[in-house]
Amino acid sequence: MQPTVIINQHRQTALIVATSGKKLLVIKLATGRLVVTAISLEEIRQQGYTVSDYSPKMAALSYLQHGGGVSERAKKYLEKISNSEFNASLGLM
């Protein structure tokens, strides 16, 4: 799956990194640090997220520098994306 940056009306961003069954694995802020969360496409829509044209690679590099910390699972995804050729976003919504 192509990593995709999403953003909501509060300018909060998240990064879709993979699928797990019918859910999407999304890296987003939780309790002050970035973690991987399984969430459905419908839940993403209900939370007001839409696809952003921001580069997933740039987002991953930025997320790796997050001051509140990054979970180990999220860090693995972010490092893979930041070292990859992913530059475009997906139009899944």
Give residue for tokens 């997220």. Answer: 49
Tens of pLDDT, residues 35-82: 999 999 999 999 999 999 999 999 999 999 998 999 999 999 999 999
Nearest to residue 13, comparing CAs of 61, 50, 66? 50
Q: What is the pTM of this model?
A: 0.85
Tens of pLDDT, residues 39-52: 999 999 999 999 99
Alpha carbon distance 85, 28 (integer Å)? 22
